Amino acid sequence: MRLATWNVNSIRSRLDRVAAFLDRQDIDVLALQETKCRDDQFPFERFEELGYEVAHLGVNQWNGVAIASRVGLADVELAFPNQPGFDKDAGESLLSTPVVESRALGATCGGVRVWSLYVPNGRALDDPHYTYKLEWLAALRDNAAAWLAAEPEAKIALVGDWNIAPTDDDVWSVSFFEGKTHTSQPERDAFTAVLDTGFADVMRPFAPGPGVYTYWDYTQLRFPRKEGMRIDFVLASPALAATATDALVDREERKGKGASDHAPVITEFALPADLS
């Protein structure tokens, strides 16, 4: 199975690029984030023409997650249990009954439970969205632990834009990000807590060391200057991670006119014939 994740930064703006990417990279399952459209605006027909089933969750021009699969799509969930929410009109505090945003979508594809995740950005260390981000990650961690406790051999992939650079190797400049989100210790601890449940960062064994990035800001010529961050991940359960055979960042998709500010992360798994 070739599984990819991509913060596409508007599916309607980049549909042709996504279609070409699916063909060029021979992708079986693609998780998308920041589709930026409602369900009724999502281009389901184009994906179906390409041989993919699609599940999408989007309620407005913000956020939005999807899973496209040509190896089956079943048991779709529109949020993980107890997923925190946030109300953009809440001011400086979380509400007791916040709105659950379109940030998590789960489906079983070819025997693998795939979660397309768009972790809240956090905005700033003193912003209420930062608290929201940490609560969101804590709830995800609790679910990850529960899933593995219930079924240790389950093949699960937690994929998407995590909005966290978990180590200094994952940013182009440590000093540039000092005092900002994405690299703060609480965020890194929250990411590590998910790994501590048993999930593995599939990319690192195949692409170790600094300079492996998945995101480059549009400003300041960040991409040609190689000033990026690694914030998009495929975290695999132990049973799935054991089958990983390759992982890479497709930097070609960050090039040219109309590119997203993220590049896709592609992983390959050698699954048993009865699964893939």
Q: Binding site, residues?
A: 7, 34, 161, 163, 261-262
Residue carrying the six token digits 């709105």: 99
The two counts, helices (H) then strands (E), for the chain are 5, 12
Q: Closest Cα to residue 235, out of 261, 198, 210? A: 198
Q: What does the DSSP assignment read for 143-205?
A: HHHHHHHH-TT--EEEEEE-----SGGGBS-TTTTTTSTTSSHHHHHHHHHHHHTT-EESSTT
> Both tokens of residue 95?
């509400």
161 is catalytic: yes
Catalytic residue of the set 56, 130, 132, 161: 161
Binding residues for Mg(2+): 7, 34, 161, 163, 261-262
The region that residue 221 occupies, defined by phi over 0 for left and psi between -120 and 50 for alpha, beta otherwise, is left
Catalytic residue of the set 52, 118, 130, 213: 118
Q: Are strands 53-57 and 29-33 parallel, antiparallel or unpaired?
A: unpaired
Q: Closest Cα to residue 210, out of 166, 161, 265? A: 166
Element (H, E) at 265: strand 265-269
274 is catalytic: no
89 is catalytic: no
Catalytic machinery residues: 118, 161, 262
